[in-house]
Amino acid sequence: ESYDMGGHDTYMHKEISEQADAVDRVLRGRIDDRFATVHLGGLNLDAREARGVRRIKILGCGTSYHAGQIGAQLIEELARIPADAEPASEFRYRNPVVDPDTLYVAVSQSGETYDVLAAVQELKRKGARVLGVVNVVGSAIAREADGGTYVHAGPEVCVVSTKCFTNTVVAFALLALHLGRIRDLSVADGKRIIDGLRRLPAQISEILANEDEIKKMAAEYADAKSMMFIGRVRGFPVAREAALKLKEVSYIHAEAYPASELKHGPLALIEPAMPTVAIVPDDDLLEKNRAALEEIKARSGRILAVAHQVQEKADHTIVVPKNENELDPILMGIPLQLFAYHTALAMGRDIDKPRNLAKSVTVE
């Protein structure tokens, strides 16, 4: 993709619309069907070294941190390596224990975010191995890392990150698959994930074709002063990212919470003026998520569900195509990018340059 607007009024809309092609690009040339494996040429991590990794720590800021949270779940699920994500901005200030058996992964669209770069430099100084999952080729973090992979999202101009989030999560799925196949992921499961990854571009196009309906839903909720976003396990980082999108571009207050934590406090906020966006995938946690919708409905809360089938307790459902359970988070956030976009557009916001924000934060 180029910087040309291609008929779109904003870069945000253009970049959301480019996601099927962008995902196609990050997958291209990297899958080996014979062995259900993945080639990530720049990792600089051979099979023996990969087997020696005891833990993975992912570091990023904002949207990249949220992509890293999904990445950590994918690594745990597919490679069975304990993994977690932390904001790089927190990590670098807490004198973390740097363990030689831990593989560190720095995530960044720009590759120039100072907090991430400073965390990488501190880790390198302490002898840690750091990989980069970065969009901008040749950027500072890409150069500083010991190896890594580019996410090939193409240029992202809008301050609000959309296509790079999606491509970063797909890049993590490739990394998780690669590590999984070196460790205990079976050929059959490898093939299942590869088939799922290949279905993504067409499914993204299907979601984007639903834009008119999503726009109508944005109009239904545009009166809200504040919104709750909930998800459970795989759905929680999706909820966090969707809440961040809405906040950044519309300036509506949005709070993301694990659905499981509602009853421990935030349920007190639920009333008709506080709508909830709920991530409800058709997986082993479906009934638990439905119970959360019931709790909200019982307090007269309005609900917009993003789900694989219409949710009876929800006032509205955006139905998205089903993929493999592990890959569903990649698709479930996409309609909520459009939701944030149309909400902000209806409110007359400066879509590509929200107030107080910069595309990359290169200072402390």
Binding site for ligand AGP (CB under 6 A): 61-64, 108-110, 113, 116, 159-161, 248, 357, 360-361
Buried b (16+ CB within 10 A) or exposed e, 52-91: ebeebbbbbbbbbbbbbbbbbbbbebbbebebebbbbbeb
Is residue 98 a contact partner of residue 74, using CB atoms and an 8 Å limit?
no
Contact 153, 163 (CB under 8 A): yes
The verdict on whether 57 is a catalytic residue reads: no
- Name the token pair of 129: 């191995």
- Determine the Cα–Cα distance for residues 69 and 84; give it in Å rounded to an integer: 7
User: How near is the Cβ of 63 to ligand AGP at its closest, in Å?
Assistant: 3
Contacting residues for 148 by C-beta, under 8 A, at least 6 apart: 42, 43, 105, 106, 131, 132, 133, 134, 142
Query: Which two three-digit tokens encode residue 98?
Result: 């740097």
Q: How far apart are CA 240 and CA 361, in angstroms?
A: 20
Phi and psi (nearest 5°) for 337? Answer: -65, -45
Cα–Cα nearest to 20, from 175, 133, 153, 109: 153
Shortest distance in whole angstroms from residue 342 CB to ligand AGP: 17
Q: Are strands 147-150 and 37-38 parallel, antiparallel or unpaired?
A: unpaired
Task: Round to whole Å and give the CA distance between 47 and 24.
Answer: 26
Which residue has tokens 């839903």? 217
> Under a CB-based contact definition with an 8 Å cutoff, are residues 176 and 78 in contact?
yes
Residue nearest to ligand AGP (CB): 62
d(Cα 230, Cα 255) in Å, to the nearest integer? 8
Angle between helices 334-346 and 187-208 (to 10 degrees): 20
**Residues 6 or more apart whose Cβ sits within 8 Å of residue 194:** 31, 33, 36, 177
Name the DSSP class of 325. Answer: G
Q: What residues are annotated to the active site?
A: 359
